[in-house]
Amino acid sequence: MGWPIERVDLGSVEYEQAARDMRGWVEQRRAGLAPDRLFFLSHPPIVTYGPRTSPEELPAAVSGLPAVEVDRGGYATYHGPGQLVGYLVIHLRERGPVDIVRWLECGLIDALADLGFPTVRRDTPKGADSLVGVWTPDHRKLASIGMRIRHGVTSHGFAINVDPDMTAFHQFAACRLHDVTMVSLAELAAEQGRPVPSDADVRDAVAAALC
């Protein structure tokens, strides 16, 4: 699937503000007032969760982590400094049939390979909780994906753990996967004895793969 997608680099944006902006981006795309776009940003610490998430899968009040329900697929995930978030606003009806989630998984895998980190996608067994995302070969989860498609236009997107506070993932059941270890590029780089790629390097690699 190759088509032009405009890259938009933002800084740290409060999640509530980004959610309001995203609704506007979707309306602009639906009305033909903007091209397909990929927005790069980060958020202050927050847990977001889809409507099917159970209360016991969310962080306890004593954790200090705010939690907010969002209008996307998937379950609870963490956003915070050191994590690269990408929101895709694409009009799929203009592009023909496409599995947008698999395309996104494969694009992120290509980007991470260019940075020197081998990763894989995983098929979800029938009846099991979703394994959508990007994984290390030993099945630690590096990137989460949660999207919404309405009237042919996508919103939300992905989050790559570059160098966030990984202890935040100990406060709740990330993606409803109780027995899965979340991992960051910083941890993988330490295992390889190499420097951590910068946020700018990760953005450039992802943009080259997707845009």
**Annotated catalytic sites, by residue?**
175
CA distance 164 to 147: 22
Radius of gyration for the chain, computed over Cα atoms and rounded to the nearest angstrom: 16
Residues 6+ apart with CB under 8 A from 181: 140, 141
Tokens of 44: 């202050």
The candidate with the shortest Cα–Cα distance to 77, out of 203, 180, 194, 199, is: 180
CA distance 29 to 155: 10
